[in-house]
């Protein structure tokens, strides 16, 4: 199994499970990740929309898992790289800039950092061959 295929499978499971959790019971993951409950209908709706987006990312990763080296596969890995870097920035800023504390905040930063590095490693051979 290739490194890219493993990445896409792991990402598919992580994003799908988190997305479903946000859609079904958004207050639980929000509390664990951000240390805050979602008290308003608007907050619940935004969390559920985020869950739907994560579910979609998971599905895209799952559908392209066997074609990781195709243009579509590389596009999904590139999109996941951007997503993971953005998540790291948002969560790190939440803690360092806004003072948010929660049980899973820094583990999530670490996980998304590792996933971003993994995405970069999967894309690196493609980038090197494009320069040749």
Q: What is the pLDDT along the chain (132 residues), one digit of tens a residue?
A: 899 999 999 999 999 999 999 999 999 999 999 998 888 999 999 999 999 999 999 999 999 999 988 999 999 999 999 999 999 999 999 999 999 999 999 999 999 999 999 999 999 875 555 555
pTM: 0.90
Q: Is 115 exposed, middle or buried (0-12, 13-18, 19+ CB in 10 A)?
A: buried
Range of the structural domain that residue 24 is part of: 3-131
77 CB burial (10 A radius; 0-12, 13-18, 19+): buried
Query: How many distinct structural domains can be found in the chain?
Result: 1
């Amino acid at each position: 199994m290739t490194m890219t295929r493993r990445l896409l499978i792991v990402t598919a499971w992580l994003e799908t499970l988190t997305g479903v959790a946000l859609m079904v019971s958004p207050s639980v993951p929000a509390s664990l990740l951000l240390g805050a409950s979602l008290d308003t209908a608007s907050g619940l709706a935004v969390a559920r929309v985020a869950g739907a987006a994560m579910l979609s990312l998971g599905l895209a990763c799952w559908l392209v898992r066997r074609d990781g080296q195709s243009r579509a596969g590389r596009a999904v890995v590139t999109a996941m790289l951007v997503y993971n870097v953005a998540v790291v920035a948002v969560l790190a800023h939440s803690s360092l800039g806004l003072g948010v504390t929660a049980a899973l905040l820094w583990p999530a930063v670490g996980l998304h950092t590792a996933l971003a590095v993994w995405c970069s490693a999967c894309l690196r051979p493609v980038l090197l061959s494009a320069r040749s």
